[in-house]
A = this chain, B = another copy of it.
Amino acid sequence: MSKYWSAIVGSLTPYVPGEQPKPGSLVKLNTNENPYPPSPAVLRAIAQAADQRLRLYSDPHSEDLRAAIARHHSVSPAQAFVGNGSDEVLAHTFLGLLKHDAPLLFPDVTYSFYPVYCKLFGIPYQPVALDDSFSLRVDDYLRPCGGVIFPNPNAPTGRLLPLTEVARLIKGLPDVPVVVDEAYIDFGGESAIPLVADHPNLLVIHTLSKSRALAGLRVGFAIGQADLIEGLNRVKNSFNSYPLDRLAQAGAQAALEDTDYLKRNCEAIIATRERMSRALSDLGFNVLPSAANFVFAHHPQRDAGELASALRARDFVVRHFRAPRIEQFLRISVGTEAQTDALIDALRGILSSPSE
């Protein structure tokens, strides 16, 4: 605590991202990165943009990128907002659309950045318990509130809420914003973006960090009706006019345009996920059904923290949250086929010996 800090700073509990170790021999399955490279078209576009034009500001409105997003998702450019990763899009959304007198609702087990944003911006909120199977019950949200946000599929559980249920939630709360954070939707879910046309209260947020294999480029976007997007732009233009550099805009546009690559990449990851889920079940894990590029699993006989440590000793990094209800779970990103085989072998070895 410093006397020079604004009063709010002392009360913050900043988000702690998953460990980003320096490259080496570690098998990194802790932050849900894509195990495959981005589309070659992305690298070409970046190479073409990396010249003396870097002396000039990037387009503050990301017009070309927003046009590509609009084409890909069959919306208008005025319905698209881009930001520096979906985390920045979320930050502007919390401040611009989700700060109301009534509490914001989100699941008790969810992306742990949500309560952090609420504290930063002074937003009242109320966690809503997932049911015993970690499923979201729409009826629990149909009550007076300032808004709703939830990831679909949820993180870190991987569980998908069917689109019919998403629609029921949006229709049931027509007077407050409902934000669906679809960071992982391409790995087996059905996007709510087509619902935007008929629902002025719906905002859908995507990222290029997961299915587009571009976590290192920092691009996310939101889709909603034009007046929601205008609210986001007013906040963004009061914060940072140029959040996306020239290289990120060029690379992201190329990524959006390579639909075939996206499809093949996601199919490969889904196939590996299903195989990994079965193998983990065979080892005695209870594995939640996942529609994401990770699985969430616990072993009835082994402490999750000890399992994470034992894996780390064997050079596998997975995510273990010391949080209520999930402290006996591991969240394991879907890697390549070879990484998955190696992980299963390592777990088999760990489980065949007594607790370490």
Contacts and interface: CB of A to CB of B under 8 A. Distances in A.
A46 B227 CA distance: 37
Query: Is chain A's binding surface mostly helix, strand, loop or mixed?
Result: loop
B231 A245 contact: no
A231 B14 CA distance: 11
Contact of A8 (B58, B99, B236): B99
Given A9-B235, A87-B239, A218-B242, 17 more contacts: A2-B230, A4-B228, A8-B96, A9-B97, A12-B234, A13-B238, A14-B236, A14-B238, A15-B238, A15-B241, A17-B57, A20-B59, A46-B46, A47-B47, A119-B238, A120-B238, A120-B239
Interface stretch (A66-74, A246-254, A304-312): A246-254
10 contacts: A2-B200, A2-B231, A5-B96, A8-B96, A9-B235, A17-B242, A42-B54, A50-B50, A85-B243, A217-B245
Interface string A97-125: 11110000000000000001101100000
Contact of A38 (B31, B52, B234): B52
Nearest to A3: B175
Nearest to A203: B4
Interface residues of A, number: 88
Interface string A266-308: 0000000000000000000000000000000000000000000
A85 B242 contact: yes
Interface stretch (A128-136, A188-196, A207-215): A207-215
Contact of A15 (B13, B99, B213, B237): B237
A198 interface: no
Contacts of A339: none
